[in-house]
Structure 1
Amino acid sequence: MKQKVLDFYKFHGAGNDFIMINSFDTEVVLQTEEIAFLCNRHLGIGADGLIFIVKDKEVDFRMIYYNSDGYEGSMCGNGGRSTAAFAFLLGFIEKNCSFRAFDGLHEATIIHHHERDFDVEISMKDVVEYDLTEKRLIVNTGSPHYIERSDNLSSVDVVAKGREIRNLPDFEPNGINVNFFQSEGNKIHLRTYERGVEDETLSCGTGVTAAAIAASLWYGKNESVIYTKGGTLSVKLTKTDSGFTGIKLRGPVTYVFNGQITIGM
C-alpha cells in the first residue's frame, strides 16, 4: 500500500470527537480501512468519526461524515456544529453560513468563540413523522433514533442494551441509534449508543435533538437543556399540527489539536 501523509485537525462537540479533513481546494481520498484506522483509539488518532469539508456550488461548504467503522454515516449534529467551527477556523466562512449534509441543507451560527472554544448553533431538519408510546419514541432527526425512558439512567448498561435494540429485526438492515432518557425536574439527562461507532458516545447531536422532541411530546417543552456525559446542549423547536419545525441545536465545540500522520505503511 502506498504511503500518504495526511494533514488533520481534531475537534469535539460536547465530547463527541471528530477527525477533520480539509478537502476544500485539494481533494483528499481515503479508503474505508484507512478511515477506520484513523478513528481507532489504540492504533490511530482516535475519534467517533471523520469528516471531510468540501466545496459546494450552492452553499458555503458540504460536510461528508464517516463513522468510526469507516463507512459513510447519516447526519451528525455535533459533527455539523464542529464542521462549522472548522470552516470558521480555516477562514472559509464568517459567523453565519449554510452548508449541505447527508440530510440536506442546514444553517449555522458561530455565536461566540475564544481561542479554541466555540459556541455553535445549527438548524436541524423538520420532523413530520414519529412513533410515540408512553415509554419510547422512534424518530428520524437526520439520523434514526430510538428514545427509551429510564428511571435510573446511571444503572443502564448502555452498550449491552443499546446494541440489543440497535440490532432488532424491526430496524434492519441499517439499525438505529439508541438513547436512554431520564427527566429530573427541569433537567433531562441522556446517554446514547451510536450505530457505526457501536459504543456509547459522550454525546450525540441528533440524539439530543430526538430527546428534545421526546420532551416536547411527553412534557410540552419547546426548549430543552440536555445533559450528556460530554457536556450540555440546548434545543429550541416549534411543535405544529404536522410535526416539528424551526429546530435549533446549540452547544460547545472545541478545537483540540492538529497534526500530520503517515498512513499506508
Structure 2
Amino acid sequence: MSVAFHKMHGLGNDFIVIDARAEPVAMSAARAAALADRRTGIGCDQLIVLEPSSAANVRMRIFNADGSEVEACGNASRAVGLLLGGAQRIETLGGTITATATAGGASVDMGPARFGWDEIPLAYAMDTLSMPVGWEELDNPAAVNVGNPHVVFFVPDVDAVDLARLGPMIETDPLFPEKVNVGVASVLGPRHIKLRVWERGAGLTRACGTGACAAAVLAIRRKLVTGPVRVDLPGGPLEIAWQAGGSILMTGPAAFSFAGSFDEDAYPL
C-alpha cells in the first residue's frame, strides 16, 4: 500500500509526518528507523504519526531516527500545529499540549515543567537544580522533564564543548534510567541564551524545541536570565515564556518542505 507523507522542519530539525487519522498506518521501531535513514529511506530526525484521539483533536506519536518512540518533540509540535491549522489539542505520551498556528509557525503550550528527581526520572534522589555530578569538564547540571527528560549544563562557550563525544556518554549513563537529552547552554544576555543539544535517540540536531524549553526554564530557575527568553539554536531562534508554577509557551517557525509517498512493502515491520 502507498502511504502519503509530508516532509516538514522546524529550524532545520526535520520530520516525516504521516496522517493516519483516516487510514491506519502500522509503525514499528524497525520501520521508523528505515524511513528515517538519510541514505536508503526518506530521511529525518523524527518520524511523526498522527492518529485519532479520544482525549484531544489528534494523537501524535513520535519516533526518533533510531526507531525509539518518545514522549515529546517541541519542533514537531509546531510543525503539526502549522500543518493542521487553527488551535489544536495534541495528545502525546508526555501529556496533552495545545498548538496554535501562526504565520510561518506556531505557538505551543507545552504544559508544566516537572522538577522532581523521580519525575525526570533519575536513578536516585538528588537536587535537580544543582546536581552534584559531572562528566569530564561538564559538571553541576540541572534537570527537568518538559514532556521528556533533559539535563542542561551552563558553560561559558557552547561551541567549545565536544558534545558529539560527551552527549552519548551522558545520554546512556545509568543515572538516567530512560536515557536523557543533553543540552549545553551559554548566557548571552539577561533574556538571551545560546544552546546546543544532543537528542536522545537522534544525536546532534539543528534545533530541539523541548531542549530550548528546558534550558530556558532552568536558566530562569537559576536566576541567570528572566523571561521571556530568546534561545539561539544552530538552526535559529525560539522564544520561551515561563513563570514558576505555570505552563511553558514556545513560539517559533515551522515549514513545509515537500509531500510524497512510500510503499509500505519497501519498509517492513
TM-score by length of 1: 0.88
Q: Which moved more, 1:96-105 or 1:207-216?
A: 96-105
Question: Do structure 1's residue 160 and structure 2's residue 165 form an aligned pair?
Answer: yes
Question: Do structure 1's residue 230 and structure 2's residue 230 form an aligned pair?
Answer: no
Q: Of 80, 105, 109, which aligns to 1:123?
A: 109
Q: Secondary structure at the match of 2:219?
A: helix
Partner of 2:8: 11
Q: Of 71, 84, 96, which aligns to 1:105?
A: 96
Q: CA deviation at 1:263?
A: 4.5
Unaligned runs of 5+ in 1: 89-94, 113-117
Partner of 2:211: 207
Q: Give 1:120-199 correspondences, 5 Å limit.
A: 120-130=106-116, 131-133=128-130, 135-172=140-177, 174-186=178-190, 187-197=192-202, 199=203
Q: CA deviation at 1:223?
A: 1.0
Unaligned runs of 5+ in 2: 117-127, 132-139
Question: Do structure 1's residue 40 and structure 2's residue 31 form an aligned pair?
Answer: no
Q: Give 1:59-74 correspondences, 5 Å limit.
A: 59-74=56-71
Superposed CA offset, 1:42-101 (max 9, x none): 11111011111112233211111111111211111111111112223xxxxxx2221211
Question: Do structure 1's residue 51 and structure 2's residue 45 form an aligned pair?
Answer: no
Partner of 2:254: 253
Q: CA deviation at 1:194?
A: 0.7
Q: CA deviation at 1:220?
A: 4.6
CA RMSD after TM alignment: 1.5
Q: CA deviation at 1:264?
A: 3.1
Superposed CA offset, 1:80-132 (max 9, x none): 111112223xxxxxx222121112211111122xxxxx220111121242511
Q: CA deviation at 1:189?
A: 0.5
Code of the aligned partner of 1:195: R
Q: CA deviation at 1:9?
A: 0.7
Write the distance in 2 (CA, Å) between the matches of 1:216 and 1:101: 26
Write the distance in 2 (CA, Å) between the matches of 1:154 and 1:58: 42
Write the distance in 2 (CA, Å) between the matches of 1:249 and 1:11: 18
Aligned length: 245
Q: Secondary structure at the match of 1:238?
A: coil
Q: Of 5, 26, 29, which aligns to 1:29?
A: 26
Do 2:72 and 2:210's aligned partners in 1 also have CA atoms closer than 8 Å? Answer: yes
Q: Secondary structure at the match of 2:256?
A: strand
Write the distance in 1 (CA, Å) between the matches of 2:27 and 2:93: 18
Write the distance in 2 (CA, Å) between the matches of 1:148 and 1:142: 19
Do 2:144 and 2:218's aligned partners in 1 also have CA atoms closer than 8 Å? Answer: no
Write the distance in 2 (CA, Å) between the matches of 1:158 and 1:108: 31
Write the distance in 2 (CA, Å) between the matches of 1:128 and 1:22: 30
Do 1:215 and 1:224's aligned partners in 2 also have CA atoms closer than 8 Å? Answer: no
Q: Secondary structure at the match of 2:105?
A: strand
Write the distance in 1 (CA, Å) between the matches of 2:42 and 2:33: 10
Q: Secondary structure at the match of 2:112?
A: coil
Do 1:138 and 1:144's aligned partners in 2 also have CA atoms closer than 8 Å? Answer: yes
Q: Secondary structure at the match of 1:125?
A: strand
Q: CA deviation at 1:5?
A: 2.3
Percent identity between matched residues is: 29
Code of the aligned partner of 1:35: A
Write the distance in 1 (CA, Å) between the matches of 2:227 and 2:14: 28
